[in-house]
Structure 1
Amino acid sequence: MIGGTWRYFLYLYGLLIDILRVCDESNRLSASGINRTQFPLQYLGRWYFLAAAAAPGTEALDIFTIMDNAEFVVRESSEREKLYFRAAIRVKDGSCVPRKWIYIFTDRSIELRTEGHPDRITELFSTNCHHCIILKEREKNNSRLLLYARSSQLEEEFMEEFKNKSKCQGFKDILVIPQQQEYCHFEE
Structure 2
Amino acid sequence: MFQRLWSWTLYLFGLTLQALWDCEYDDKVAAGNLNKTQYSGKWYFIMMAADSDASLIKFRPMDSNVFQLTPMEDQQKLLLRGEIRLSQSMKCLSRQWIYHINNKTQEMILEGRPYLKTEIFVKEDDDYIVLLESQDKGSEHFRRLMLYGRSPTLSDFSRLKFEHRANCLNLTAILVLEQAQEPCEIS
TM-score (norm 2): 0.79
**Structure 1, 98-107 or 31-40: larger mean CA deviation:** 31-40
Q: Indicate the residue corresponding to 2:60 in structure 1.
A: 65
Counterparts in 2 of 1:79 and 1:29: CA distance versus 1, 3 Å: same
Cα distance in structure 1, aligned partners of 2:56 and 2:125: 23
Cα distance in structure 1, aligned partners of 2:31 and 2:126: 12
Query: Contact between 1:129 and 1:158, CA under 8 Å: does it hold in 2?
Result: no
Per-residue CA deviation, residues 80-129 of structure 1 (Å, 9 max, x unaligned), is 00000000000002111100010110126441000011110000013598
Sequence identity (%):
30
Q: Indicate the residue corresponding to 1:169 in structure 2.
A: 169
Counterparts in 2 of 1:28 and 1:67: CA distance versus 1, 3 Å: farther
Size of the aligned set, in residue pairs, is 165
Paired residues for 1:37-56 under 5 Å:
39-56=35-52
Equivalent of 1:100 in 84, 96, 99: 96
Query: Contact between 2:31 and 2:101, CA under 8 Å: does it hold in 1?
Result: no
Match of 1:164, SS state, is helix
Cα distance in structure 1, aligned partners of 2:131 and 2:105: 14
**Structure 1, 85-94 or 123-132: larger mean CA deviation:** 123-132
Match of 1:60, SS state, is helix
Query: Contact between 1:30 and 1:126, CA under 8 Å: does it hold in 2?
Result: no
Letter in 1 for 2:171: F
1:179 aligned onto 2:179:
yes
Alpha-carbon offset, residue 155 of structure 1: 1.5
Per-residue CA deviation, residues 47-86 of structure 1 (Å, 9 max, x unaligned), is 0000010123x52111110000000000010000000000
Q: Indicate the residue corresponding to 1:18 in structure 2.
A: none
Match of 1:78, SS state, is coil
Cα distance in structure 2, aligned partners of 1:78 and 1:33: 21
Structure 2 stretches of 5 or more lacking a match? 1-17
Q: Indicate the residue corresponding to 1:120 in structure 2.
A: 116
Counterparts in 2 of 1:177 and 1:129: CA distance versus 1, 3 Å: farther
Letter in 2 for 1:135: L
Equivalent of 1:75 in 63, 67, 70: 70
Letter in 2 for 1:176: V
Letter in 2 for 1:92: S
Cα distance in structure 2, aligned partners of 1:84 and 1:98: 13
Q: Indicate the residue corresponding to 1:15 in structure 2.
A: none
Match of 2:55, SS state, is coil
1:139 aligned onto 2:166:
no
Alpha-carbon offset, residue 39 of structure 1: 2.5
Cα distance in structure 1, aligned partners of 2:39 and 2:127: 10
Letter in 2 for 1:178: E
Cα distance in structure 2, aligned partners of 1:63 and 1:76: 27
Structure 1 stretches of 5 or more lacking a match? 1-20
Q: Which of 1 and 2 has greater Rg? A: 1
Alpha-carbon offset, residue 42 of structure 1: 2.3
Letter in 2 for 1:80: Q
Alpha-carbon offset, residue 24 of structure 1: 4.1
TM-score (norm 1): 0.78
Query: Contact between 1:51 and 1:176, CA under 8 Å: does it hold in 2?
Result: yes
